[in-house]
Amino acid sequence: MKPEDLDQRAKLRLWPGYGPAHTARSQDFATLREALAAAAVALERHEGQPWITTEAGDILSPRWIRAHVTGGH
C-alpha cells in the first residue's frame, strides 16, 4: 500500500463479533485514512470485526487492520 492510497475512497463493513452474523453495517468514507480510524475505534470498543474495501479493490481484514493501525493489540 502506498501513502497516496490513504486519500482514496473506502468502504468499511462492520460484522458483529459474536455469534452468527447475518448482516454487516456498512459505511462509505471519503478516504481510507478515515475508514481506518473508524475501524480502529470499532476494534478498541469490541464492536465487531471491521473489513475495509479500498477504491482500488483491496480488502483489508480485521487482522491486517489490527496489525497496522492498532499496533497489533
Summarize pLDDT for 10-55 with one digit per residue, the tens. Answer: 999 998 866 665 677 899 999 999 999 999 999 999 888 999 999 9
Cα separation, 32 vs 46, in Å, equals: 21
**Domain membership of residue 44 as a residue range:** 3-69
Quick one: pLDDT at residue 1? Answer: 75
Q: How many domains does the chain have?
A: 1
Of residues 73 and 28, the one with the higher pLDDT is: 28
Cα separation, 49 vs 51, in Å, equals: 7
Quick one: pLDDT at residue 13? Answer: 95
With bands split at pLDDT 50, 70 and 90, how would you rate the model's confidence at 65? Answer: very high
Cα separation, 17 vs 21, in Å, equals: 8
For residue 50, count CB atoms less than 10 angstroms from its CB and return exposed for 0-12, middle for 13-18, buried for 19 or more.
buried
Cα separation, 73 vs 55, in Å, equals: 27
Of residues 1 and 20, the one with the higher pLDDT is: 1
CA atoms within 13 A of residue 52's CA, in its CB half-sphere: 31
pLDDT at 73 over 60: no
